[in-house]
Structure 1
Amino acid sequence: MSSPPPSLRQRGGKKNAVAKEPQANSPAPKPNTKKAAKPSAEWDYRAALVILTVLAFATRFWNISYPDEVVFDEVHFGKFASHYLQRTYFFDVHPPFGKLLFALGGWLVGYDGHFLFDNIGDSYIENKVPYVALRAMPAIQGALTVPVVFLIMWESGYSLPASVLSAGLILFDNAHIGEDRLILLDATLVLTMALSILCYVRFSKTRNEPFGRKWWKWLLLTGVSLSCVISTKYVGLFTFFTVGSAVVIDLWDLLNVNRSGGAITLVKFVKHFAARTFGLIIVPFFFYLFWFQVHFAILNRSGPGDDFMSPEFQQTLSDNAMTSKSVGIEYYDQITLRHKDTKTYLHSHTEHYPLRYEDGRVSSQGQQVTGYPYNDTNNHWQILPVVPYDVNDLLGHPVKNDDIVQLVHVQTDTVLLTHDVASPYYPTNQEFTTVSRELANGDRHNDTLFQIKIENGKTGQEFKTMSSLFKLVHVPTKVAMWTHSTPLPDWAFKQAEINGNKNSQQPSNIWYAEDIPSLDPESERMKQEPRQVTQLPFIIKYLELQRAMFYHNNALTSSHPYASEPFQWPFLLRGVSFWTKNDTREQIYFLGNPIGWWIASSLLAVFAGIIGADQLSLRRGVDALEEIWGPGTRSRLYNSTGFFFLAWAAHYFPFYLMGRQRFLHHYLPAHVASALVAGALIEFVFNIDPASDDEGEDAGAAANSTTSTKPVTGRQVRSVKPRLGRQSMLATWAAVVAIMSATIYGFWFFAPLTYGSPGLDVAGVQARQWLAYDLHFAK
């Protein structure tokens, strides 16, 4: 039988401490000298930690060299590592920290970034890529997540079987293993999320020694860990919310005059508030900015991400094509205009708007003006002055900032116009159309006038292709030409809507002139002087990149055959096909361990039911928790297990609010939290005889034998957890062994889909379609 879990304060140290409410500014509680308990033994915890860690590395690194081809999103994150090593600028919607780790791994083994991971299935061997070293980085991180989960449970005062269960559910989960073995970001995200929780638990244990060395150490380590989470993916904000909620309740409790010893003074409260603000907001923010500084410092050459950035930004990159090919635009030139965010061209064609839109509103039935993603002759527009130049003096007149112009659609010889008619999708925005030259020079003349407003441009600044970002503002109504990513119906061939945005200052109103098709390539105007690389302040580059990242992240709304909805994740209703090999019938299918997944999800529901039943019984004057499970049970259940449940909810429910593509891997951080809840709840369920241990201690002494922190609230108390007696320990171990045996079977059964080998026959594939998973080779 395992020895009882050691006290969170006394592990490996003093004998036994009485649970008490230490104040934020009070010394540590004195040991209980009345009745000493047996010395804490940690060898069993340490042995379990070592075994779990070895198994974690074995499951992540086994046959990691297979397949020796590009798998799924390795096309993205492997490519980004290559761009770092070649120092060519790229764009991605995720922050740089995780991608920099991949680049570091490649650099350490001498990889030069020559391979760009263009297609799934491309051979690593033929292209001489040290892909095992690149995959080793997430594999190490994924393996370390397992002991971190174990340490969270251990440091929170849970028994050995409970700690083993939580770590084991992650150790033998096929989804975590599948992500950890590939060049993907989620291993970094999950590890740093778990480290954030571990560091905060350790910090909460020092609350009776505020502003001491250990207190500061764990506070700052929590902040650094949080910074690494959000510097990997922006969903790390959910981890900030988890820890932040605990900190807010902690600070609120410090003001409580009814707490033991009374509320602290306002001066000391301000010190607590300032310290947490510094450690958990300011420090993480500056670390977060640091990774962007490294990102900009490395990527100093022109690359595939140039198009996402402004001309001013691109001028900071060497060999940039946009600035080197910038040409001044003159009146009567034919130009193409492109939207900065969506990259669609201003386009028109002979088709007209329908009489009525789908919602019954009436249109002008004018010629359609749309956004088109491809270069086409219907994208050509001639730029004209309001007052025409003499027919013998048409050349050499540059277009300048703040000029008022007309735009003629070359193919249909009609003039761009907007007017007070609602656009197809935005009743508050104006429709864009075209009218004949006769009307443009007659009754509708004013409606065809637009002003060129170059971003941050000076008066008289020359309007140029590529380098002049501008807004096209309608003179009479002051609306700005705008487009968005939602396609129009079939009557517009699913092209983009162009409309007049009444919020003319909105950053997404920005366009640029891409080309001058009417200009002879041999023209003197095409000859450019070499340009020098310029500098931009870091904060300017950072803010521009942030806006582009958020915009394009929110624009990821297109359908995907393997996308899934959040309600499907806890029940593991579908996975994602990562890779297939037809001749051997091998495949990698991203899927969690159904048995472990369903057990963890079921225990989440059980926890919510217990809390609901407890609240209902309290309303009726019955305190079942304290009577059956012993003193301190409610505090521990609400504050410790409740903290884990909060972490699960914070990492799960926000996905319901997102309109972007969502996949099963988005649930992995929440799954870690569900494993913590599972271990804590199994211990709670079977801990029903707190007074029965092999020493025959009374309930009061047993209650005082082990204390645990309350990380969810951060209050200045320790909730008392009764030590597991012999019967409780045996029952808990029996439950854990049963659950882990079933979980290991699930891992083994689905392992061919996780590791990509061996190939399965039709019967083998069909046997694994437990919930109609859309596996390959099922026929």
Structure 2
Amino acid sequence: MDEWVLEVVGEDARLPQDGVLRSLTTKFVLRHRVFGCLLTAGKTPLPEWGFKQGEVFCDQSGKSSNKDAVWNIEQHLNERLPEPEPRQYKSNFWQDFIHINMAMLDFNNGLVQDPDKYDHLASQPSQWPFLAVGIRLNKWWDSTLKIYLIGNPAVWWSGSLSLGVFIFTLAYYSVARGRLQQEREQEQQWEQEQDGDQQEHQHISTPANNTNTANDMILMTPQEWDHFTFAGKVTLGGWFLHYLPSLVMGRVMYLHHYFPPLYFTILLCAYLIDHFLTRSQARLLAKTLVWGFAYTVVTMTFVWFWPASYGFHGPSDSMKNRQWRAAWDIANPYKPRTFM
């Protein structure tokens, strides 16, 4: 009853398609001789009674196209077999790239929350941008060292707000540049119609100079515009590409999964401060005061939350003054689900 038939379903294109079983390169299925089903690996782990192990079953559909029923041999040791050529195991880069990313996607989607128990550490991606949650990293007993995973609120919130500020600024610049271009086209058309009248030509020249002055103060040169849009592509685009997978994955999520997108919001916030100071033509003293204020706020907030981040002893009530949000459970043992 435990007899299985090995069927080769794939082989590296650079090797002979002769049905010979090779380690790593040969893909095969195991079909039950009596029932005709295929040995298949399940994606959902077993409950507690199965020790969270992966389930292996016999798929009655018998379809070899099911990728969960395809196996290969990672290593085979036999002194009587000749050593294969090293180039035999050199795989195609793009095939490996696609395979590894698909494997990671399947693996992450398989890390689902246990329905038999409540995971108080888990959170939703919508709670991350405004730091609506934190994580208790160990037991919250009065006699133990307690560490609370939480970011610097000043950095976290300013970075998230910079996303909206950049989008608004980009929209404002785009509309202003479009209106300026339209005004210049109308002026050129009017000048062409009135090119014989010197008095009217002088009358048109004065508003054009005022418009150029406004352009210098509000809008940007083509080089500045290219730099502004490039910074947005890198920071805003980087944030979106790192945050988007969290919204579509089915696995259980935690606060630390937002760290990669967070880095891009920090870069964007710093860039916007520098951009506005440069565009306003602020003096060196004003720039020093603005940057000094930003550094002071970030440093003081870091020092204030130092005990929570690096561990504290004693009752958790001593950290009430650091629980700025009701959803944080530094002192409060209950963590309500909230978006903001």
TM range (shorter): 0.5 to 0.7
Q: CA 1:760–1:603 in structure 2 vs 1: closer, same or farther (change >3 Å)?
A: farther
Give the one of 244, 249, 254 matched to 1:653. 244
Matched with 2:208 is none
Give the one of 215, 231, 245 matched to 1:640. 231
Q: Secondary structure at the match of 1:484?
A: strand
Whole-Å Cα distance in 1 between the matches of residues 218 and 80 of structure 2? 73
Kept in 1: contact 2:4–2:31 (CA 8 A): no
**Mapping 1:375-386, distance limit 5 Å:** 382-383=1-2
- TM-score, structure 2 length as denominator? 0.62
Matched with 1:628 is 218
Matched with 2:260 is 669
Q: CA deviation at 1:610?
A: 0.7
Give the one of 64, 70, 76 matched to 1:504. 64
**Mapping 1:41-52, distance limit 5 Å:** none
Kept in 2: contact 1:572–1:592 (CA 8 A): yes
Kept in 2: contact 1:575–1:591 (CA 8 A): yes
Matched with 1:205 is none
Aligned residue identity for 2:268: V
Q: What do residues 147-175 of structure 1 show as CA deviations (whole Å, max 9, x unaligned)? A: xxxxxxxxxxxxxxxxxxxxxxxxxxxxx
Which structure shows the higher helix fraction?
Answer: 2
Determine if the alignment matches structure 1 residue 768 to structure 2 residue 327. no
Whole-Å Cα distance in 2 between the matches of residues 755 and 574 of structure 1? 17
Q: CA deviation at 1:479?
A: 6.9
Kept in 2: contact 1:765–1:778 (CA 8 A): no
Matched with 2:51 is none
Whole-Å Cα distance in 2 between the matches of residues 625 and 679 of structure 1? 25
Q: Count residues in correspondence.
A: 268
Q: CA 1:651–1:746 in structure 2 vs 1: closer, same or farther (change >3 Å)?
A: same
Kept in 2: contact 1:556–1:660 (CA 8 A): yes
Kept in 2: contact 1:604–1:677 (CA 8 A): yes
Matched with 1:564 is 123
**Mapping 1:12-91, distance limit 5 Å:** none
Give the one of 732, 748, 756 matched to 2:287. 732
Q: CA deviation at 1:609?
A: 0.8
Q: What do residues 710-734 of structure 1 show as CA deviations (whole Å, max 9, x unaligned)? A: xxxxxxxxxxxxxxx52xx333332
Give % identity. Answer: 24
Q: CA deviation at 1:642?
A: 4.0
Matched with 1:484 is 42
Determine if the alignment matches structure 1 residue 678 to structure 2 residue 269. yes
Whole-Å Cα distance in 2 between the matches of residues 650 and 776 of structure 1? 35
Q: CA 1:471–1:596 in structure 2 vs 1: closer, same or farther (change >3 Å)?
A: same
Whole-Å Cα distance in 2 between the matches of residues 739 and 764 of structure 1? 28
Unmatched runs of 5 consecutive residues or more in structure 1: 1-381, 384-398, 402-451, 462-467, 490-494, 513-529, 691-724
Whole-Å Cα distance in 1 between the matches of residues 171 and 40 of structure 2? 50
Aligned residue identity for 2:218: I
Give RMSD over aligned pairs. Answer: 4.5
Kept in 2: contact 1:625–1:633 (CA 8 A): no
Kept in 1: contact 2:38–2:62 (CA 8 A): yes
Whole-Å Cα distance in 1 between the matches of residues 43 and 249 of structure 2? 16
Q: CA 1:556–1:628 in structure 2 vs 1: closer, same or farther (change >3 Å)?
A: same
Kept in 1: contact 2:136–2:149 (CA 8 A): yes
Q: Which has the higher contact order (CA 8 A, sep 6+)?
A: 2
Kept in 1: contact 2:159–2:266 (CA 8 A): yes
Q: CA 1:689–1:743 in structure 2 vs 1: closer, same or farther (change >3 Å)?
A: closer
Give the one of 157, 166, 173 matched to 1:607. 166
Q: What do residues 60-114 of structure 1 show as CA deviations (whole Å, max 9, x unaligned)? A: xxxxxxxxxxxxxxxxxxxxxxxxxxxxxxxxxxxxxxxxxxxxxxxxxxxxxxx
Q: Secondary structure at the match of 1:472?
A: strand
Kept in 2: contact 1:563–1:662 (CA 8 A): yes
Q: CA deviation at 1:660?
A: 2.4
Q: Secondary structure at the match of 1:579?
A: coil
Q: CA 1:585–1:481 in structure 2 vs 1: closer, same or farther (change >3 Å)?
A: closer
